Structure 1
Amino acid sequence: MNELEVDVAVLGGGPAGIAAALGAARMGASTLLIERYGFLGGMSTISLVYPWQTFHTMAGKQVIRGVAQDIVDELVRRNASPGHLRDTIGFVHTLTPFDPDMFKLVAAEMLLDSGCRLMLHTYVAEAEAKDGHIASVKVVNKSGMQTVKSKIFIDTTGDADVAYWAGTEVLKGRESDHKTQPMTMKFRMNHVNIDAIRDYMKQHPDEFYKKSLIADLDRIPLTGVQGFYKHWKEADLPILRDQVLFFIGPREDEVLINQSRVSGYDGTQVEDLTKAEVEGRRQVVMIAEFLNRQIPGFENARITQVGTQIGVRETRRAVGLYQLNRDDVIQGRKFEDVIARSGYPIDIHDPSGKGVDSAWIGDDGAYDIPYRCLLPKEVDNLLMAGRCMSTTHDAHSTTWLTPSCMATGQAAGTAAAMAALKGVSPHDLQVGELQRNLLTNRADLGFSLVDL
């Protein structure tokens, strides 16, 4: 059995893991990123979770920068993203379209350029932990079983797999009944007449989300559509949604359909995931036929891509030194140990119904994410980032969005490298020094280096 040993091992190659590995490698730590698929990107590429929402507050102030913005800049440079655009649904201020296939390459090349080692096609199978310390993780791939030893581990699996196996307390779903937000099988269609959709919206504004920027569509590009309420109600499909939802791009005649809703399944149980995959693909066919038949602009549309796997919004969350909660988000709370910020509102897809529970952020439109949310209670050489960081069910509905995941990933990677190079636990780092390093690497914490 082969053994590998590094300063920082990042487990999971989604946006949080990519940002964590970049953060650690750029600090000079020997870094390994392990991903189960043959490409990077997590839900953004595997499940077509795009466009990214959002780097800004509702007032338009950018509050996520650093590694996340570096990735966007590189995608823009390669003509794989137009950058940040207004969200014409009006749910947030901006969204960021991108080509998911180009993101796979951009992420890999940025990581390799940073000195990070990649290990694709590899599953994490076990965490060997004793007395609150992870000695190693076991991984499996075509080369067989391997042992990875690391000074610091970062769990960016999305499902808190490593934290769970290492003995950290985890929570799942909403506190009352442990039900999780539904899964969604996303898909792309081309040969869509965007002009016809835009014209219909201008003629029938009452059939769309109340915040839609319909009056502005003569001067800004249509980026997203939520509505067609009458059409969806008349169709009466057996899908727990109450509207049509899709986003334009990445190509001019193409849209990404975010419409299916697969409820009642546990994303950490293989039997449930298997059922959800089949049900999600069944819904895709029903929705595509409905769009062809009833929605203006979709008469000649056809499916071009369906997600490699169903999109999972919520599973396990590790319990950390602090749990970010609903009040923290909607009050725009600020913390002394801030390591990232977000302007995305509460956005809970009902685990058992059709609706969405939304609540917007007060104060300056952004809330802080404290470092303590990345630190599990029971394990001294583990950090969490992305979907599995420490939050309540309500707060999770904003922190799981990709820009927030990348921001917490950069923080976790930076902290892991600092701890590994100093020979200390991430719990023992001076937060001010961590913040200084994050600011030096262009993260947004709501203040500048001179304020430290």
Structure 2
Amino acid sequence: MKLLPALLLSTLAAVSPLAAADSYDIVVYGGSSGGITAAIQAARMGKTAVLIEPTKFLGGLTTGGLGATDIGNKKAIGGMSREFYANVFKYYSDAAKWKQQTREEYYAKKPHGNTGSEDTMWTFEPHAATEIYDAMLATVKDKVTVVFSERLDLKKGVVKKGSRIVKIVMESGREFEGPMFIDATYEGDLMAKAGVSYAVGREANAMYGETINGVQKVKTVHHQFIKNVDPYVKPGDPSSGVLPGIDPGDIGEDETGDRKLQAYNFRMCTTDVPENRRDWEKPANYDEKWFELALRNVEAGDARISWAPSWMPNRKTDTNNNFAVSTDFIGQNFDYPDADYATRAKIWQAHEDWQKGLMWTYAYHPRVPEQIRAAFQKLGLAKDEFADNGHWPRQMYVREARRMIGGYVMSEKNCKRREIVEDSVGMGAYNMDSHNVQRYITKEGFVRNEGDIQIGTRPYPISYRSITPKAGECTNLLVPVCLSASHIAYGSIRMEPVFMVMGQSAATAAVIAIDSGKDLQQIDLAKLKEKLLADGQMLDFESPPMPEHVSITKEKLGGIVVDDMEAELTGFSSIGHTTPGFVGEGYRHDSDSLKGEQKARFTPNLPAAGQYRVAITYTALANRAESVPVIIHHADGEEKVIVNQKKKAPEKDVLIPLGTFRFEKGKTGWLEIRNEATTGHVIIDAAQWLPAK
């Protein structure tokens, strides 16, 4: 009899129905940042864990390009999550890790909130995150088994007995069993297949007593078109059809719910170092009609650079979406959460094709102005990142997919600290942040984005009941990533440091449940809290409720007012809402960084020639810059005025007068705020031209 090779025998055994399931104390499905901390915490508490990752790499977005950590108040981050960022600090304390610049050169620009004076660092290269996670996992290698390239079988992947999961089954036939399970994926497949209730899309405001959920046509002012752009294939002719990516129909009334999602993209790691830069290439399947909207937008005069590169160490970036037509593939992900793997792969590939095609378009298309082409040619994919994937990020930014409907649904009220939970397992602190959801046609016949909402929060506790299903649905599953929250609350929670916090807390609860022989919904919450605090988790700290700021309208100011959302920006991508006294939906600032590289030009459309009093608005605080240069370009030349933004406006006013100047009719005059030679945050909000009497 001919013997079969040992490798083939092992493969047959793996798929044989007679093969025993792999057994662990805790089964973690999803090697995201939250999955990694869950597995490590289980091991640190003396349990065995398996970390099952459907792809070939760990870390999700943290290792997949998102190196500019978003969190808001960093005091809210504790436990193993903070340990990770302390490890980033240690990693970059080694001079050998700095290849393209020195540590001192990098910190001189105070990138993304880093000051260089703490024991944590919040920006990093993708490969650095991988090395750090690998080192953390190596310390528990005797208790954590990492399994790559195993996907849950979407038809028979979850076997339950009553309210408990007995085992999960992979597409390969491999099975994993244990007393506790954790779904740490961005999609929530294990949760869904376990029969746990979940939501997809946006709730109506009325469902949870919110104000910024559901359709938001009126409040969507960020990442918006500032020029009128025609949406039709043949400009001005509705019968010719609409350009790709624009909804031709009724998108619903404000505050109503839908099953639509905020947009996905890839967080690109780019560099301006020529020898390490891969220039943008035109995709083989490039279809120009998909980029016609971008071309018409720049031809209409939108000169803003439509991306947001945040600088990481070694002259690299974490590059995100910015402005009207950018890396977000708006409206093309609605089917993703509940889709099968093949459909998801098509959606994933479409996003990749879009983003690569857009980069080439902005960098090389002859219809794009030279200034924009030069900006996109300056940066290209870093050759020393993602070498196994053509230097392209391995993880798509799934900003939200399914969201569990658990024992407690976090909402806008929690994010504003108007409702505070007592069973905290960690904190959120970022803005309530939804990217645009869709594009539609206004009644005037122009294209407009809808769905981008960015509203401030106070640091707030997240409920244990929000990472556990209802007891009647499943009693041995925790969900630290697709947790229980409304769309707009999830927009604040969905940050990688928070997922790390939630993953650690989920594993802690799982171990307590195993040791006590109780269901997750019945464990001793006092014991859970005691252990979380002992492990350095931040569960809450005193913070006043978020005030209901009533913004100042342009109409109330009078005259001709240009808001920051209508300005031509170079930089100034950080948005604020927390300090009252601003015009419109918020204000922008330079993050006290990239000095001399950021500016904002406000151009009014004046109805007549004549003398105008020019004034600006900003929110004054002690951390503002004292010597902000403001250039006024008028009919008789230019005037430079230095503004102290620590100084408040006169009593009962928000306007800071700059002087009276003569202007011609139309758009020949402008005002420009710069951040050169400044120390402190430079704020831009609005500029006013008031006819002089």
Q: Could you say which TM-score interval applies, normalised by the shorter chain?
A: 0.7 to 0.9
2:69 pairs with 1:52? yes
1:345 alignment counterpart: 431
1:209 alignment counterpart: none
Instruction: Give me the whole-angstrom Cα distance separating, in 2, the residues matched to 1:276 and 1:37.
Output: 14
2:577 alignment counterpart: none
2:538 pairs with 1:444? yes
Query: Which of residues 148, 171, 174 is equivalent to 1:146?
Result: 174
Q: Which structure 2 residue ranges, 5 or more long, are not aligned?
A: 1-18, 115-119, 204-256, 275-293, 365-369, 383-390, 440-448, 543-693
2:231 alignment counterpart: none
Instruction: Give me the whole-angstrom Cα distance separating, in 2, the residues matched to 1:251 and 1:232.
Output: 35
Query: Which of residues 127, 137, 156 is equivalent to 1:111?
Result: 137
Displacement of 1:244 in angstroms is: 2.9
2:80 pairs with 1:64? no
Displacement of 1:367 in angstroms is: 1.0
Displacement of 1:322 in angstroms is: 0.3
Does the 8 Å CA contact 2:89/2:121 hold for their aligned counterparts? no
- Between stretches 348-357 and 9-18, larger displacement belongs to 348-357
Structure 1 276/117 Cα, relative in aligned 2: closer, same or farther at 3 Å?
A: closer
Identity of aligned residues (%): 24
Residues 191-206 of structure 1 mapped to structure 2, 5 A cutoff: 191=272
Query: Which of residues 354, 362, 371 is equivalent to 1:294?
Result: 371
- Between stretches 14-23 and 268-277, larger displacement belongs to 268-277
2:160 counterpart SS class: strand
Instruction: Give me the whole-angstrom Cα distance separating, in 2, the residues matched to 1:324 and 1:254.
Output: 33
Q: Which structure 1 residue ranges, 5 or more long, are not aligned?
A: 194-229
Structure 1 183/231 Cα, relative in aligned 2: closer, same or farther at 3 Å?
A: same
Structure 1 235/254 Cα, relative in aligned 2: closer, same or farther at 3 Å?
A: farther
Structure 1 255/4 Cα, relative in aligned 2: closer, same or farther at 3 Å?
A: closer
Query: Which of residues 355, 372, 383 is equivalent to 2:478?
Result: 383
Does the 8 Å CA contact 1:191/1:298 hold for their aligned counterparts? no
1:410 alignment counterpart: 504
1:181-204 alpha-carbon deviations (Å, 9 max, x no partner): 1111332322269xxxxxxxxxxx
2:34 pairs with 1:24? no
Displacement of 1:411 in angstroms is: 0.8
1:147-206 alpha-carbon deviations (Å, 9 max, x no partner): 11111101111211111111111111112111111111332322269xxxxxxxxxxxxx
Displacement of 1:319 in angstroms is: 1.2
Instruction: Give me the whole-angstrom Cα distance separating, in 2, the residues matched to 1:412 and 1:419.
Output: 11
Does the 8 Å CA contact 2:260/2:437 hold for their aligned counterparts? yes
1:131-155 alpha-carbon deviations (Å, 9 max, x no partner): 2110100124xxx422111111011
Structure 1 117/232 Cα, relative in aligned 2: closer, same or farther at 3 Å?
A: farther
Displacement of 1:86 in angstroms is: 5.8
2:356 alignment counterpart: 284
1:248-268 alpha-carbon deviations (Å, 9 max, x no partner): 123225453444112232223
1:308 counterpart SS class: coil
Does the 8 Å CA contact 1:380/1:427 hold for their aligned counterparts? yes
- Larger gyration radius, structure 1 or structure 2: 2
Structure 1 232/406 Cα, relative in aligned 2: closer, same or farther at 3 Å?
A: farther
Displacement of 1:42 in angstroms is: 1.1
Structure 1 159/237 Cα, relative in aligned 2: closer, same or farther at 3 Å?
A: farther
Displacement of 1:389 in angstroms is: 0.5
Structure 1 244/300 Cα, relative in aligned 2: closer, same or farther at 3 Å?
A: closer
Residues 1-400 of structure 1 mapped to structure 2, 5 A cutoff: 1-46=19-64, 48-54=65-71, 56-57=72-73, 62-79=75-92, 87=112, 96-114=122-140, 115-125=143-153, 126-140=157-171, 144-175=172-203, 176-191=257-272, 233-234=297-298, 243-252=306-315, 254=317, 256-258=319-321, 259-262=326-329, 263-265=331-333, 266-268=335-337, 269=339, 270-271=342-343, 273-291=345-363, 293-295=370-372, 298-304=376-382, 305-331=391-417, 333-353=419-439, 354=449, 356-361=452-457, 365-377=458-470, 378-386=473-481, 388-400=482-494
1:229-258 alpha-carbon deviations (Å, 9 max, x no partner): x999525799xx995322112322545344
Structure 1 272/156 Cα, relative in aligned 2: closer, same or farther at 3 Å?
A: closer
Does the 8 Å CA contact 2:269/2:319 hold for their aligned counterparts? yes
The alignment of Structure 1 onto Structure 2 pairs a total of residues equal to: 394
Structure 1 53/244 Cα, relative in aligned 2: closer, same or farther at 3 Å?
A: same
Does the 8 Å CA contact 1:7/1:421 hold for their aligned counterparts? no
- Between stretches 314-323 and 276-285, larger displacement belongs to 276-285
Higher share in helix: 1
Letter in 2 for 1:320: G
Displacement of 1:7 in angstroms is: 1.0
Does the 8 Å CA contact 1:192/1:297 hold for their aligned counterparts? no
1:227 alignment counterpart: none
Displacement of 1:6 in angstroms is: 1.2
Structure 1 109/236 Cα, relative in aligned 2: closer, same or farther at 3 Å?
A: farther
Structure 1 335/173 Cα, relative in aligned 2: closer, same or farther at 3 Å?
A: same
Instruction: Give me the whole-angstrom Cα distance separating, in 1, the residues matched to 2:295 and 2:90.
Output: 39
Letter in 1 for 2:131: L
Instruction: Give me the whole-angstrom Cα distance separating, in 1, the residues matched to 2:318 and 2:180.
Output: 41
Structure 1 237/11 Cα, relative in aligned 2: closer, same or farther at 3 Å?
A: farther
1:411 counterpart SS class: helix
Structure 1 128/235 Cα, relative in aligned 2: closer, same or farther at 3 Å?
A: farther
2:520 alignment counterpart: 426
Instruction: Give me the whole-angstrom Cα distance separating, in 1, the residues matched to 2:191 and 2:460.
Output: 25
Displacement of 1:66 in angstroms is: 0.6
Instruction: Give me the whole-angstrom Cα distance separating, in 1, the residues matched to 2:181 and 2:113.
Output: 40
Letter in 2 for 1:317: R
Does the 8 Å CA contact 1:192/1:255 hold for their aligned counterparts? no
Does the 8 Å CA contact 2:31/2:59 hold for their aligned counterparts? yes
Displacement of 1:351 in angstroms is: 1.3
Instruction: Give me the whole-angstrom Cα distance separating, in 2, the residues matched to 1:113 and 1:32.
Output: 15
Displacement of 1:334 in angstroms is: 2.6
Displacement of 1:105 in angstroms is: 2.9
1:224 alignment counterpart: none
- Between stretches 436-445 and 244-253, larger displacement belongs to 244-253
1:305-343 alpha-carbon deviations (Å, 9 max, x no partner): 322243211111111000001121123643210110121
Q: TM-score, normalised by structure 1?
A: 0.79
Q: 1 or 2 for the larger relative contact order (CA 8 Å, sep ≥6)?
A: 1
Displacement of 1:8 in angstroms is: 0.8
Displacement of 1:97 in angstroms is: 1.1
Instruction: Give me the whole-angstrom Cα distance separating, in 2, the residues matched to 1:301 and 1:72.
Output: 27
Letter in 2 for 1:183: Y
